[in-house]
Structures are given as C-alpha cells and as structure tokens.
Amino acid sequence: MIPRPDTAGLNRESVWSYPRPAIAESCAVHLMIKHRGVIVADTRRSIRTLETSHPPSYYVPPDAIARGVLRRAEGSSFCEWKGAAVYWDVLIDDLVVPRAGWSYPDPSPRFAMLRDHVAFYAAPFDCCSIDGETVVPQPGQFYGGWITSGVVGPFKGVPGSARW
C-alpha cells in the first residue's frame, strides 16, 4: 500500500517531505518532559531527526536532563544511518520507567551531533511537550517520534505501515 500524504499547510510539515536517508538538525523549540511532578528534561537546545514517514524524534543534551534520573538499561539496537543505540531507564524516587530513552554513544559521522544526547519516548511519561503543546506518541511499539499539530502524516507505525 502506498500511503496518501495528509495535506501540509501554513506552519504544518508533512512527514512525507522529510528526507530519506534521515538527517539531524539543531532545534530551538521548548521541549519539556514531566513525570510524577518531576521535570525529567527541559531545553531549548535539542536536536531533531527527520526521516520520511516519521514524526520528529528529539535528542536532549545531557545538561538539560535532571541529575540522577538516567540508568543504563539492557539491550541495544542498530539504525542503518545513526549506528548502534543504547537504552536508558528513567528513575524517579522508587519508580523505574524502563527503556524510556535511547542514545547513540558512538554515532555514525553524519550524526555526530547526537553524541551524548538522549531521546525519549513520549508514551511512558505524564507529559511531553513542544512549545507548551502536549505531544502524541508515534504509533507502534518501536518508534519514538513526537507528533504535534505542526506535523501531518500518515505516520509510520500505524497498522499496515510495515513496508513503507
């Protein structure tokens, strides 16, 4: 099935205009993650990755992540463009949010700017926001994109999108 892209417009990007292979770019939006009353991350200096059919993923610099909330999780994965990823648990008091984030400790040269930055899935947290707008998690169990009113799909991860 070939998807029919939703209509982009003023202040709305289509994920179908994003490049393949993926790219990374500096981003000055106000990104915030809150859970159980704790601000996990807060920055205006993130990096977003863009890839055809995916909403952006946002990578947070280490100094914008609350101290002591990250613990290396088991497992890894491999991205054909970014390289080998590791996963992170988020710890808040006695709560463990398992594999809530990921990073690329030794990214490929094209994605060197991601080194030491952590991306987070939106689904497990009470609130993830971009410029004050609560994001919607990208569909599917594996993907970590953040959907806002400024981006239109359809998005990879919905049923039937496995071969997009």
Tell me what pLDDT residue 89 has: 98
Tell me what pLDDT residue 9 has: 87
Tell me what pLDDT residue 41 has: 98
**SS3 call for 136:** strand
Per residue in 89-141, pLDDT (tens digit) is 999 999 999 999 999 999 999 999 999 999 999 999 999 999 999 999 999 98
Section 21-47 average pLDDT: 98
Angstrom distance (rounded) from CA 42 to CA 3: 35
The beta strand positions in 52-120, using DSSP E, are: 54-60, 70-79, 83-92, 95-103, 118-120
Joined tokens for residue 120: 């987070």
CA atoms within 13 A on the CB side of 111: 27
Tell me what pLDDT residue 106 has: 98
Q: pTM higher than 0.85 for the full model?
A: yes
DSSP H/E element including 30: none
Angstrom distance (rounded) from CA 111 to CA 78: 13
Per residue in 41-76, pLDDT (tens digit) is 999 999 999 999 999 999 999 999 999 999 999 999
- Tell me the pLDDT band of 1, cut-offs 50, 70 and 90: low
